[in-house]
Amino acid sequence: MIIVPPIKCQGIKTRLVSSIRAHLPEGDFVRWIEPFCGSGVVALNVQPARAILADKNRHIIALYRAIQQKSITPGVVREYLQQSGERLQQDGQDFYNVVRNRFNTTGDSLDFLFLNRACFNGVMRFNRRGEFNVPFGHKPERFRPAYVTKIANQVGRFQDVVTRLDWRFDVADFRETIAKATADDFLYIDPPYAGRHSDYFTAWNEQDERDLVEALQKTPARFLLSTWHHNQYRSNPSIEEHWQRAPFHTRLFKHFYHVGPTEARRGEMTEALISNYRFPALAESDPVYHQISLFGD
């Protein structure tokens, strides 16, 4: 069973955790280093004993540190969401705006959690001034008791892991985080995609992509990078431009996702895993095996 983290973000890898886990290097590593941790769902499920989880988005890191330091607990979350949920039910959009304005002034981590769940489509987007600007999801009834319990439990499970293991959360640019890795470390790399979901924290340009390729060519650590390869409409230009040229291993696999609010529309995406080590052989009995096509491996 996949453990779900307490926040949602664009590009979250919940559905890809099994495929990523099946492609981790054989043998031990000292530290798991993740320069683009986002929701942290991959580390949360792999549960390395030591980890540095970093992201440029200071709000994610602040929330995760607060959970680790126990200033935010499942009980605190439950009480806060119950109270805020009641206010949302009474005042709808007006209350959502109060919380959003407050968050954009104070950066409060509980408000961040609330906005992440009450906003439109559960996305995370910040304007050029770094302010959260996603509109209200128009579900004033959202925080029903079962939903509050579900989020409090997600916080609880996350807290169990981050207090038991030796994990550190950093606000940092990826260049700084990758530079910390030594030959004994493992890097899991999940960068933003150029031209998609771009906002204050996820803006990504050609120079960033070039710097990432260069940092990964130089790193003494083993790394695994996940990115999209193609769908029925287009291919990721960066694969040919940057990743295929470098002396890395690539493995492709298909992944299905739902498009829009109905269950009926299914999209198919081919994902790429890129590494600087030989991928482990997969047994045919592994469910991931059947999604894979080999390419340049």
Ligand X SMILES: C[S@@+](CC[C@H](N)C(=O)[O-])C[C@H]1O[C@@H](n2cnc3c(N)ncnc32)[C@H](O)[C@@H]1O
3-state secondary structure of 259: coil
90's tokens: 């009474």
Local structure of residue 156 (DSSP, 8 states): H
199 forms part of the interface with ligand X (CB under 6 A): no
173 forms part of the interface with ligand X (CB under 6 A): yes
Q: 248 near 274, Cβ under 8 Å?
A: yes
- Residues near ligand X (CB under 6 A), total: 19
| CA 261 to chain CA mean position, Å | 21
Q: Which residue has the tokens 């054989």?
A: 26
154 forms part of the interface with ligand X (CB under 6 A): no
56 forms part of the interface with ligand X (CB under 6 A): yes
Candidate ranges 34-42, 75-83, 138-146, 214-222; the one touching ligand X (CB under 6 A): 34-42
Candidate ranges 51-59, 71-79, 132-140, 229-237; the one touching ligand X (CB under 6 A): 51-59
Among 33, 45, 48, 55, binds ligand X (CB under 6 A): 55
Among 4, 6, 12, 72, binds ligand X (CB under 6 A): 12
Tally Cβ neighbours within 10 Å of residue 233: 6
Among 19, 39, 116, 276, binds ligand X (CB under 6 A): 39
Which run of H or E residues covers position 29?
none
42 forms part of the interface with ligand X (CB under 6 A): yes
For the CB of residue 150, give the shortest distance to ligand X in the complex, in Å: 18
Q: Buried b / exposed e across 175-193, counting CB within 10 Å, b at 16+?
A: eebbebbeeebbbbbbbbb
Q: 276 near 248, Cβ under 8 Å?
A: yes
Tally Cβ neighbours within 10 Å of residue 294: 11
125 forms part of the interface with ligand X (CB under 6 A): no
Among 190, 213, 219, 272, binds ligand X (CB under 6 A): 190
- The answer for residues whose C-beta is within 8 angstroms of residue 54's C-beta and 6 or more apart is 33, 34, 35, 36, 37, 61, 169, 170, 171, 172, 174, 176, 177
Among 13, 59, 78, 251, binds ligand X (CB under 6 A): 13
Q: 267 near 256, Cβ under 8 Å?
A: yes
56's tokens: 């440029």
Q: Which residues pair with 266 in a beta bridge?
A: 258
Among 57, 68, 238, 276, binds ligand X (CB under 6 A): 57
Local structure of residue 136 (DSSP, 8 states): B
174 forms part of the interface with ligand X (CB under 6 A): yes
115 forms part of the interface with ligand X (CB under 6 A): no
228 forms part of the interface with ligand X (CB under 6 A): no
Candidate ranges 33-41, 111-119, 239-247, 286-294; the one touching ligand X (CB under 6 A): 33-41
Q: Which residue has the tokens 């991931």?
A: 288
For the CB of residue 83, give the shortest distance to ligand X in the complex, in Å: 28
9 forms part of the interface with ligand X (CB under 6 A): yes
- The answer for residues whose C-beta is within 8 angstroms of residue 260's C-beta and 6 or more apart is none
Among 4, 20, 22, 35, binds ligand X (CB under 6 A): 35
140 forms part of the interface with ligand X (CB under 6 A): no
Candidate ranges 8-16, 22-30, 150-158, 253-261; the one touching ligand X (CB under 6 A): 8-16
Residues that bind ligand X (CB under 6 A): 9, 11-13, 35-36, 38-39, 41-42, 55-57, 173-174, 190, 192, 201-202
